[in-house]
Structure 1
């Protein structure tokens, strides 16, 4: 009930901004405004995760699949340095991303359509990130626990604790910690901390 009410209120309040973003996407590149991607929810249930489209159309998923494989294995780092990890699940300086898409990704505004997923009961406001099926296939066994405990969320513990500075294993550990220590108070703290983490671009490359 809290997820449903919260997402409905947020969609209502944010509707003018969402409309502006949709118009800009439509005017600046060809293709649909909304990008639908199959993800795995609680207990492995598949659903279409919604995002604002940030890429040019007709892209091969193989580039991202290989990047994900290397990211999860710990091969990839930020801008080819040894300082911090690359943006989570996002290729640095990806030529497939549109100019407006770069801004939407940096600020995580591309994630806002996921409030519809929350309304449909597929996601929660707070929870682990829902993995892509081909990503799940290369998880270690202990990684897979992150989608068995609770529904996936629009935001989560790792998003407000360093975001892109984290390695994949650290991110999963925070997701599991959230599942083990869940409470309404923890959800509230994460929700309050999310806007600052998002709009500061904390941890982005």
Structure 2
């Protein structure tokens, strides 16, 4: 079923807050005391909702069975910590980039930097501009494009040259970053293309 707040929101607003939180269904049905909870001058829309609610209440009969709480996230209706945890993330998108960052062998400061870059929280010119701080309009390395995390790590000509020279020196067959991929996606594909023995290079 639905609550009065969902069915008759205008009429619900005419009920004092203290009554909303203390009145039970059984109390409201007893002698139609729910009707006396409505206060103030009603307009035509609220009167229509009142008449509609009256008809619903006249057809309502309470069961002698005691009420019980039903947890909607399990088939049995019983609460469990696991179902609560799953309900918390219901509809969310799974992200596996944390494994690439925090489960790799790199030094803690390298992991932390990659985490900041993945969250776009490095203090680039773009972020300085978002915070209203003084910044250079273009990348200081190439003086061609705005300075963003993606540009500094993947798109800047000097960065791409550094990736090429480093991968060639280490003899790692991973491709250099491309504009079509994000930093995390490129790292994921580069890791998959690199033999396990070379991944700690």
Larger relative strand fraction: 1
Please tell me whether Structure 1 or Structure 2 has the larger radius of gyration of its CA atoms.
Answer: 2
> Could you state the TM-score of these two structures normalised by the residue count of structure 1?
0.23
> TM-score under structure 2 normalisation?
0.23
